[in-house]
A and B are shown apart, each in its own frame.
Chain A
Amino acid sequence: MGNVPSAVKHCLSYQQLLREHLWIGDSVAGALDPAQISVLINLHCFQPYVCGFSVSLAGSVACIHWETSQLSGLPEFVKIVEVGPRDGLQNEKVIVPTDIKIEFINRLSQTGLSVIEVTSFVSSRWVPQMADHTEVMKGIHQYPGVRYPVLTPNLQGFHRAVAAGATEISVFGAASESFSKKNINCSIEESMGKFEEVVKSARHMNIPARGYVSCALGCPYEGIITPQKVTEVSKRLYSMGCYEISLGDTIGVGTPGSMKRMLESVMKEIPLGALAVHCHDTYGQALANILTALQMGINVVDSAVSGLGGCPYAKGASGNVATEDLIYMLNGLGLNTGVNLYKVMEAGDFICKAVNKTTNSKVAQASFHA
């Protein structure tokens, strides 16, 4: 910055810039509703722009489209898998009441997100936050066009999930023997056996199963994880019937180079369309790693609203990549997500107040105070 007078704190036009860059209205997710428009108009800086992008006003509804050339080789559409209610909350210290969880998920359902991971049918002894899995699953409003997968670590969890109304499930493997032992108390081989039971039962009932591979770019116990190992585990999950494999940088240690090498290896065995990335932002590398994955053709990305969830392996560290920041980048790249960033920020604001924490999303930090 140059000689910025410290008196300059706000700029009304900045609100306009926010709107332009956040691309908060689009034809897929639905245009801004009248209430939102009146808020913007009250900021009295709503001026139609003509250079570089088009603004069309139709009645009280406005769609602002940001036209930009894409980076070459990027996918046209990116599916965001929202893991805030599960991966996010699971790593939050404050136990969130069931009704708040339900309200949170219902709000997320109205943002345009098409996949929202609801809860985990795991023993409450291990994960107290998820003790109310059945109530949450039964309590949420299942919007048409939105899928609500749940984690099912074993057959028992799977049956409970189905009884509670689950129509999609996930299983969690790891590319590290030590992590598998410490996390789910069995070897990778033993875990695959369990998952096979679950996935087979799921397929029998026409329930899709998603597979996760943890520690894809590094392990808190073993350190280096070879791309070959990640490929091996991913292939196991894929061939047993998982329709999609989410490759997780569980402790966020990966960088674009390691992401690239891991994906190159996995993509030799598993079709691009069946892969997703799940990046943690523990070392601030998540968006750069996700960009790398996108450049390689991956078009499914996991994230958590407000960057919920810390890291159990690095006290004080951050966890998931924030959905808001991800959407901001995807919008800027001209990639279609179907998600309304404004509404996601509102859902994020809601849950942060409920768990009494400040958001980890930079977009939210910049927007709510401006």
Chain B
Amino acid sequence: MAAMTKALPRRLVGLASLRAVSTSSMDTLPKRVKIVEVGPRDGLQNEKNIVSTPLKIKLIDMLSEAGLSVIEATSFVSPKWVPQMADHAEVLKGIQKFPGITYPVLTPNLKGFEAAVAAGAKEVAIFGAASELFTKKNINCSMEESFQRFDAILKAAQSANISVRGYVSCVLGCPYEGKISPAKVAEVTKKLYSMGCYEISLGDTIGVGTPGIMKDMLSAVMLEVPPAALAVHCHDTYGQALANTLVALQMGVSVVDSSVAGLGGCPYAQGASGNLATEDLVYMLEGLGIHTGVNLQKLLEAGNFICQALNRKTSSKVAQATCKL
């Protein structure tokens, strides 16, 4: 990584001291933010090039060393649908499980849940949506049927003492239905929370949201579910992710999902970008004096590693600015 250590020419002041300018936090912002790293799952899932199992394991190990406390490792979904995640059991068994770090995995149904537990999963995630059409197209059933599936998983998880995180897709817009009402998002979120999910991640799946819409949606959801149980998962398809995340923080959300190097495209807009880049998120949070526990330098190394493995350029602006090309 010689290029990394010489990333900043001597005449330029280091990132650390520049960020020190903005250490005091704005009035209503949280003091700490938990970052949920979804690169190995949400990111890789949407990358065209298949990454080998050893490389996936190395990526996750590097992310563990970067100080992230939650790293979504893989998805126990049928390889017919998501070939990238076909090696889910090997990945989960192969990664180093650092103390203090959790490695949730996606489990779309009971079968996937059981396979995940057999492979050593201690935390799982289930994926709902605030849109009927999206649910139909994405997991081939109605919203009501999806809740029944989730209920089965939650019951099994409860028996096995396994935590379950809930996701709600399309919270700020749907590729099929268009506008999604905040009330609908609140309803679905409340349902997942009352069924037993300890945290609900609200996803702007196609990145169409803007700060005002984010605020409206969160206002509605926070009437039903406490802010401490909420997370935001913003996609950067239209460049709005960080601004939307900032508004969420201003409203009391303190858990943010992101993906190293901004991995993952958007299956609904060819050529578009996908997740918010973890590096850019960390840059903002550190500039705001918010504690993340993440070592940005090590994170940049992990991003650099996976981009080389995928043979693609990073989508993180911080990485672009600090790595010599």
Q: Mark A residues whose CB is within 8 Å of B.
A: 1-6, 8-11, 13-14, 16-17, 20-21, 49, 51-53, 68-71, 217-225, 252-258, 260-261, 281-285, 287-288, 290-292, 311, 313-318, 322, 325, 328-329, 331-334, 361-363, 365-370
- Contact: A369 with B269, CB < 8 Å? yes
CB contacts (< 8 Å) of B42 on chain A: these are 1
Residue-by-residue, is B176-214 near A (CB-CB < 8 Å gives 1, otherwise 0)? 111101000000000000000000000101111111110
CB contacts (< 8 Å) of A361 on chain B: these are 239
- Contact: A291 with B243, CB < 8 Å? yes
For the side of the interface on B, what is the size category? Answer: 35 or more
- Residue B148 at the A interface, CB < 8 A? no
- Nearest neighbor of A318 in chain B, beta-carbon distance: B317
CB contacts (< 8 Å) of A258 on chain B: these are 21-22, 287
CB contacts (< 8 Å) of A52 on chain B: these are 179, 181
CB contacts (< 8 Å) of A225 on chain B: these are 21
Residue-by-residue, is B305-325 near A (CB-CB < 8 Å gives 1, otherwise 0)? 000000000001110111111
- Contact: B283 with A283, CB < 8 Å? yes
Quote the shortest CB–CB distance from B316 to chain A (angstroms). Answer: 7
- Contact: A284 with B277, CB < 8 Å? yes
Interface-central residue, A6, A288, A363, by most chain B CB under 10 Å: A288
Interface positions, chain B 16-57, Cβ under 8 Å from A, are 17-26, 42, 45-46
Q: How many angstroms between the C-alpha atoms of A368 and B139 in the bound complex?
A: 28
- Contact: B21 with A4, CB < 8 Å? no
CB contacts (< 8 Å) of B173 on chain A: these are 17, 21
CB contacts (< 8 Å) of A325 on chain B: these are 238-240
CB contacts (< 8 Å) of A254 on chain B: these are 21-22, 287
CB contacts (< 8 Å) of B108 on chain A: these are 2-3
- Nearest neighbor of A332 in chain B, beta-carbon distance: B210
- Residue B288 at the A interface, CB < 8 A? yes
Apart from A1-B205, A224-B13, A333-B210: 8 A-B pairs, beta carbons within 8 A? A14-B206, A220-B13, A284-B284, A284-B318, A285-B280, A291-B243, A292-B246, A366-B238
Q: Which of A71, A284, A285, A370 contacts B272 (CB 8 A)?
A: A370
- Residue B77 at the A interface, CB < 8 A? yes
Q: How many angstroms between the C-alpha atoms of A292 and B243 in the bound complex?
A: 9
- Contact: A49 with B179, CB < 8 Å? yes
Q: How many angstroms between the C-alpha atoms of A154 and B277 in the bound complex?
A: 42
CB contacts (< 8 Å) of A70 on chain B: these are 212
Q: How many angstroms between the C-alpha atoms of A13 and B136 in the bound complex?
A: 15
- Residue B216 at the A interface, CB < 8 A? yes
Question: Majority SS of interface residues in chain A?
Answer: loop
- Contact: A255 with B269, CB < 8 Å? no
Closest 3 CB pairs of A and B: A332-B210, A255-B287, A369-B271
- Nearest neighbor of A361 in chain B, beta-carbon distance: B239
- Contact: B45 with A256, CB < 8 Å? no
CB contacts (< 8 Å) of A318 on chain B: these are 317, 320-321
Interface-central residue, A14, A217, A368, by most chain B CB under 10 Å: A14
Q: Which of B167, B208, B267 contacts A4 (CB 8 A)?
A: B267
- Contact: A217 with B269, CB < 8 Å? no
- Residue B242 at the A interface, CB < 8 A? yes
- Nearest neighbor of B274 in chain A, beta-carbon distance: A1
Given A17-B175, A362-B236, check contact A253 B46 (CB 8 Å).
Answer: no
CB contacts (< 8 Å) of B323 on chain A: these are 316
Given A220-B13, A255-B283, A370-B270, check contact A329 B243 (CB 8 Å).
Answer: yes
CB contacts (< 8 Å) of B303 on chain A: these are none
CB contacts (< 8 Å) of A8 on chain B: these are 137, 267-268
CB contacts (< 8 Å) of A311 on chain B: these are 321
- Contact: A322 with B18, CB < 8 Å? no
- Residue B254 at the A interface, CB < 8 A? no
Given A3-B82, A3-B108, A253-B18, check contact A288 B325 (CB 8 Å).
Answer: no
Q: Which of A11, A292, A329 contacts B175 (CB 8 A)?
A: A11
CB contacts (< 8 Å) of B266 on chain A: these are 366
11 intermolecular pairs with C-beta atoms under 8 Å apart: A1-B42, A4-B46, A13-B176, A13-B177, A14-B176, A68-B216, A223-B21, A255-B19, A256-B22, A285-B284, A292-B246
Quote the shortest CB–CB distance from B211 to chain A (angstroms). Answer: 6
Q: How many angstroms between the C-alpha atoms of A49 and B77 in the bound complex?
A: 35
Interface-central residue, A1, A6, A329, by most chain B CB under 10 Å: A1
Q: How many angstroms between the C-alpha atoms of A219 and B268 in the bound complex?
A: 40
Quote the shortest CB–CB distance from A13 to chain B (angstroms). Answer: 5
- Nearest neighbor of A285 in chain B, beta-carbon distance: B284
- Residue B298 at the A interface, CB < 8 A? no
CB contacts (< 8 Å) of A2 on chain B: these are 106, 108, 127, 129, 138-139, 167, 169
